[in-house]
Structure 1
């Protein structure tokens, strides 16, 4: 499977879960009582979101290392970082 397709398979659900987590969190913060459905959505989205985030981070780990090294001047001269 191509790397771009794997990124889409991970990133699109991660985006959806992150938006649901944020929206449900805001509703719970400002909504008051009777929010059991939103609490349930918030709790259901949390674990898969963290799992997908860890997978996303693993898929882009070389890029993270490269950018970190460039930021702190550990690559001389600074090299271009790609996610491929």
Structure 2
């Protein structure tokens, strides 16, 4: 019995380490996509109309696919992590919330929100709107200053693009 507990502890430790690495990778790749491999219009203003940005031979779209794949692996390992800790979570849940009715309500709420957030994209249909003068571009606040159209910026560094808000 002792060996099974040790094996489970080692598995937990490995999964936790992998989850940490995956989370760091998702964050780093998200930053790479957002601030370094900038969208086309910003790229055109920063460099020229005839360049393609890449890092390690991969462009923005490729890194987006990797980001998605890492996110899926992260979710699967998180589910395994929760399964491995299920008994402990159940004990803590019962300890913190004495009333069984409230436990059922809270657990149901968490389950429904989780499923909606994970699979809700399957129910979304994009709103298709004809482009007007701004061609779907975004307004950018450079270092918190006045918003500019992303294509009206004469010189901007990727790290200056801190807040992006849609232009309506």
TM normalised by structure 1 equals: 0.70
Q: Give deviations 1:25-46, integer Å, cap 9, x for gaps.
A: 2333444224234313202201
Structure with a larger share of its residues in helix: 1
Which residue of the partner structure matches residue 55 of structure 1? Answer: 80
Structure 2 unaligned regions, length at least 5: 40-52, 54-59, 100-168
Q: Give deviations 1:23-77, integer Å, cap 9, x for gaps.
A: 2223334442242343132022011111101100000011111111111135xxx
Work out which of the residue numbers 72, 92, 110 in structure 2 matches 1:67: 92
Map 1:1-84 onto structure 2 (within 5 A): 2-31=7-36, 32-33=38-39, 34=53, 35-73=60-98
Q: Which moved more, 1:36-45 or 1:61-70?
A: 36-45
Structure with a larger share of its residues in strand: 2
Which residue of the partner structure matches residue 79 of structure 1? Answer: none
Structure 1 unaligned regions, length at least 5: 75-84
Which residue of the partner structure matches residue 78 of structure 1? Answer: none
Provide the secondary structure at the position in 1 that maps to 2:72: helix
RMSD: 2.0
Provide the secondary structure at the position in 2 that maps to 1:73: coil
Larger radius of gyration: 2
